[in-house]
Structure 1
Amino acid sequence: MQSLYRLIKNYGIVGIFIFFKLKLRLSRSISVPGVSHPIRLRVGTSDAPVFTQVFIDQDYSIDLPFDARNIIDAGANVGLAAVYFANKYPKATIVSIEPEKSNFNILQKNVAPYPNVKPVMKALSNEQEVLTVEDLGYGNWGFVTSRAGEKTTESAIVVETITIPQLMRDFGFDHIDIAKIDIEGYEKELFESRYEEWVPKTKCLIVELHDRMKKGTSTSLFKCISQYNFSLTLSGENLVFVNDDL
C-alpha cells in the first residue's frame, strides 16, 4: 500500500490507475504524468520493480545546483532512468549503456521518442575488453557481467566493453554532470583503476552497490571517492556523491 500512497502523492488520481495497471498487469504500456511518452514494460519481468524505483519511489529525484547537460546512464536496463532524465533535463545528452540484448531491445523502444538519448549496447568497464553477461537468478534487472573465462552458466553471452573516457570522447563531453552507475557488481572493477580521467570531472555520481553479487564493490568505490572532494547523501538504494570542487 505504500506504493499506492506514493503514486497518489506524486500523481494524484492518475496514480490509482497506474497502481492497478502494475498490480493486475493490465497493460504493457503505462502513461505517467510529466512524462511525455508512454513507457513500455514487459509483463512478468523485473520491469515493474524498476518502474517502482524510478517513478514511484523517485530514486533519481535529486535536487542538484545545476542543470545537467551531460549524463551517462550505465546499466540502463530498459531505459526507465533515461526516460526520467530526458523529461527532467530535456537539453541534456544522455548516453545509456546496456549490455543485455532483451533489455536493450526494450530500451530502444522506450527512448525512441527522445533523440537526446543515445543507446549503446556494450558493457561498461575500466578498460577495453570482452566480458560475459549472464543471468545468475536475479531477473532482467540483474544480469551480471564478468571477465571472459569466468562464466558460470552455459547461457552466458559475450559482449564488448566501453570505458567512460571513451564515451566522453565519442559524445564530446568535457565533463559529466550526472553519472548513474548500476552495473550489478562490476562497480568493483570500474572504480578499481583508471578512474582518474573521469571521476574528478564528474559533478554527481549516483551509484547502486552490489556487494551481494560481488564482494569488494563498496571497498573499491569508497577507496576511489576518498581521493576527491565529494559529499555523500542517500536516495533510495542509491549513494549520491556531489563533487564540491565543480
Structure 2
Amino acid sequence: MDTGTRPAPGPRPFEPVEVRLPGHAPVWGVGSAETMSVWREMTPDGMYGRAAARLRPGDRVLDIGANVGLASVFFHDVQPGITTVAVEPAPDLYACLQANLAAHVPGSRAVRAAVTDRVGHSRFVYYPNAPSNSGLHTDPVTDDALTRRYLENSGVEEEFIEMVLEGLHDGVSLEVPTLTVSTLLRERPYGDIALLKVDVERAELEVLRGVEAADWPRIGEVVAEVHDEGGRLDACCDLLRAQGFHISVDQDPALAGTELYEIEARRA
C-alpha cells in the first residue's frame, strides 16, 4: 500500500529563505508561503496572543514542535523579557529555528528532537511541501482532507484546491531522536516553565504523558493544538484537569468540520 512516504534521500544542501513578515524584521523559513501561513496564527486575539499577553519578564517558554520558531519569536515580540527552549526534529526547520532564535529571541536555545513519552529514536515523516503538517503520526489521506476543508472554509475554489493538494503530503521518512518534557527539564537547570506550547501533529497526548508528576507543578500554563482522533481531545483535557488546570477548548472557524482544536490550560 502506498503510504505517501519514500525513503530519505541522500544529503542535500539546504538554504533557508529570508521572509519579510508584515511589520516585522525578516525571519528565516523553508518557503515564503509556508512561513506566512504559520505567522498568520500569531494574532493578539488568538490562542497564542492570549498566552503571550500573560507572560512576564524573566519567564521561560517551552516550545514543543517549534517549526521555524515563529511562535517563540511572537512571544518575545510581546514580552521581550522571556527566553525560550524550542524543540524541533526536522533538520530543515531546525536550521531556520536556530537562525530565528539567534536573531530575535536572545538567550534562547534550540533542541533538535521530537518530544513524546519516551526517550530513544522514532520514525518521523517530513512533508517538504507542507512542513507544518510533518510529524510522528502522519496520515496523508487525513491530512489532505483537513487541508481541503480549511481551504473550502476559506473560500478557495475547487480547481485551485486540487492544485494545492497535488503532492502536498508526499513525505520523506527520517529517524529522529525522541525526548520527553521531563528529560528536557532535567537536562539543564531551566527553572519553572511559565508556558508549555505544544504543536506536534497527533502526538499531543504523548507529550503531556511525558511530563512526570513531580514536574507538573513547575508548569504554569499549557496551550496545545490537538487532533481529536480516537478520543485524544478528551484524554488531553482529563490529564490536564487532573494536574490542576482549568481548561478551555476552542476551534478556529477556518477549521470548522475538522478534528483540529485548541486547548488553553491555566492554573487557578
**Superposition TM-score tier, normalisation by shorter sequence:** 0.7 to 0.9
Pick closer, same or farther for the CA change 1:47–1:126 going to 2, 3 Å.
same
Q: Distance in 2 between matches of 1:91 and 1:231?
A: 26
CA contact (8 A) 2:125 2:134 kept: yes
Q: Name the SS of the counterpart of 1:104 in structure 2.
A: helix
Aligned residue number for residue 154 of structure 2? none
Q: Please give the per-residue CA displacement for 1:43-82, whole angstroms capped at 9, x wherever unaligned.
A: 3653221011125865411132754612100000011001
List aligned pairs for 1:230-245, cutoff 5 A: 230-233=245-248, 236=252, 238-244=262-268
Pick closer, same or farther for the CA change 1:132–1:45 going to 2, 3 Å.
farther
Displacement of 1:166 = 2.0
Cα-Cα RMSD: 2.9
Aligned residue number for residue 113 of structure 2? 122
Q: Please give the per-residue CA displacement for 1:163-216, whole angstroms capped at 9, x wherever unaligned.
A: 2122222231332100001111111222346542333321110111023xx534
Aligned residue number for residue 79 of structure 1? 69
CA contact (8 A) 1:202 1:243 kept: no
Aligned residue number for residue 216 of structure 2? 199
1:215 and 2:230 matched? yes
CA contact (8 A) 1:73 1:179 kept: yes
Unpaired stretches in structure 2, ≥5 consecutive residues: 1-16, 138-169, 253-260
Q: Distance in 2 between matches of 1:65 and 1:53?
A: 18
Displacement of 1:221 = 0.8
Unpaired stretches in structure 1, ≥5 consecutive residues: 1-26, 147-152
1:142 and 2:133 matched? yes
Aligned residue number for residue 69 of structure 1? 59
Q: Name the SS of the counterpart of 1:232 in structure 2.
A: strand
Aligned residue number for residue 98 of structure 1? 88
Aligned residue number for residue 46 of structure 1? 34
Letter in 2 for 1:242: R
Aligned residue number for residue 150 of structure 1? none
Pick closer, same or farther for the CA change 1:90–1:44 going to 2, 3 Å.
closer
Letter in 1 for 2:241: S
Q: Distance in 1 between matches of 2:199 and 2:78?
A: 19
CA contact (8 A) 1:128 1:162 kept: yes
Pick closer, same or farther for the CA change 1:178–1:240 going to 2, 3 Å.
same
Q: How many residues align?
A: 209
Displacement of 1:224 = 0.8
Q: Distance in 1 between matches of 2:225 and 2:57?
A: 22
TM normalised by structure 2 equals 0.68
Q: Distance in 1 between matches of 2:128 and 2:101?
A: 27
Pick closer, same or farther for the CA change 1:189–1:216 going to 2, 3 Å.
farther
Identity of aligned residues (%): 21
Letter in 2 for 1:99: P
Letter in 2 for 1:184: E
Pick closer, same or farther for the CA change 1:138–1:183 going to 2, 3 Å.
farther
Displacement of 1:116 = 1.9
Q: Name the SS of the counterpart of 1:209 in structure 2.
A: strand
Q: Distance in 2 between matches of 1:121 and 1:65?
A: 25
Aligned residue number for residue 30 of structure 1? 20
CA contact (8 A) 1:78 1:104 kept: yes
TM normalised by structure 1 equals 0.73
CA contact (8 A) 2:116 2:206 kept: yes
